[in-house]
Each structure stands twice: as structure tokens, then as C-alpha cells.
Homo-oligomer: A and B are copies of this chain.
Amino acid sequence: MKAVILSSGGLDSTTCIALAVEKLGQENVSTVSIFYGQRHARELSCARAVAEFYGVNHYEFDAAEILKSSNSALLNSSTKNLEHSTYAEQVKKNSRVETYVPFRNGLMLSMAASFAGSIYEDSDGEIYIGVHQDDTAGNAYPDCRADFIEAINTAIKIGTYGKIKIVAPFLGKTKADVVKIGTSLAVPYELTWSCYERGDTPCGRCATCLDRARAFAANGIADPALKSFGK
């Protein structure tokens, strides 16, 4: 069995890498980062550092052209300022979160499935994705929901002659649970980046900074990235 991990350079996907390496060994794990025009391109260099830490092959693909017309606030082309509020507050205010990117996880999972089917042509493959329960509060990111993952997993299994499937180890878990699991696996969180802003240090105020801070606080530990990124 071989695995491809969708790696954003953030906390959740880095914890996925730790799980996959523990289960399959680093020689059977590859990481994939996808540039889609995100304003926080910093995360891509973090994904490289994490891959180096784990000694796994790392690949990058560019999907920005497909999404360049989107007015998602997560894209670098957007002129919007990010709201500094939680997902739940944003969904309450609008019908979606401003940082929703059209079918982003579907696109990334499909790219990973085609890639895994290409590099692992003669073995079965798993695709890891770090979606968790907090991503879906109030239907914030519908492409993180369990029924979404189930549907696209069915499509991937059928469409690859049954060779490839999705592993989403944090479905039904909170980000605090992810930090707990990752801490027990000594995940190098000091290398990871979550902030949606463009700064050199995490802004500490965007939705994902707030969620990350809460997840560490719930475990009673300090976020090592605040120190490593000089905040």
C-alpha cells in the first residue's frame, strides 16, 4: 500500500503525514501541495519543510488558472479584506464563508487520485486529507463534510478500478483532537502555517488563527509556531 497526502503546510494535513508515515513507512508516502492562487502562499514553503522533516517525496501542482475568476477572499487576486471572525459568525452573516473556494477539496482530491494512479500504477493507494468536524460547523465548508468525502471516495474507488481510496482520519474529530493526536506523534507543529493572511507572522485574528489557538489551548499547550515564526 502506498499513500499520497494532500499537504497544505498546516496543522491538520501535517498530522495526516505523521499517521501515514507511522502506518506505511516514509518510503511509501508522498506529499502533494496544490497552489490554487491562495493569498497565504507561505504555506507552500511550510509544506516543503514538513516533507523534508519526514523524508518523503514532495510534489507541487498548479491549479490557479482554473480558479482565477473566483472572487473568494482566500485568493490572492481578491481585493476583499478578510473578516476577523469565526466561521460560525460568517455563515450566520452570509450564506457561505467568504473563504470558500469553489469545489476546492474535490479538485484537490481528484488531482491526488489521478497522480496516485499515475505514480503508483501497480499498487493500491490511499489519499489522506485532513478535514475535520470544525471545518463544517454551520456548513462552513461543505467539501469537508462526511457525506461529501463518502461520495467522492465512492467515485474515486469506481473510477480507479477499486485501486484508490480516501482516508480522512479526522472526520468527526475536532481540531483539538487533531492536536492531541499529533502531539502524541511528536508532529513538528513549529513548521506549520495556518494563517490566511499574507504576513510574516500569523495574524492571530483570522478564523483559522482563532481556531488553531483554541485547539492548542484545549490541550493546555502553547502553539510552537508562535515562537518559531517570531510572534
Contact = CB atoms under 8 A, between A and B. Distances in A.
Interface of A: 61-63, 65-71, 95-96, 100-107, 109-111, 113-119, 121, 139, 142-143, 145, 147-148, 151-152, 154-156, 158-161, 164
A150 to B, nearest CB: 9
Given A103-B110, A111-B66, A118-B70, A155 B152 contact: yes
Contacts of A104: 114
Contacts of A107: 110-111, 113-114
30 contacts: A61-B65, A61-B66, A62-B65, A66-B111, A66-B114, A67-B118, A68-B118, A69-B118, A70-B118, A100-B161, A101-B114, A102-B118, A102-B160, A103-B110, A103-B159, A106-B110, A106-B114, A106-B155, A106-B156, A107-B113, A139-B161, A142-B158, A143-B158, A148-B158, A148-B159, A151-B158, A152-B152, A152-B155, A154-B154, A155-B155
Contacts of A160: 102-103, 142
A42 to B, nearest CB: 22
Contacts of A147: 154, 158
A155 B161 contact: no
Contacts of A109: 110
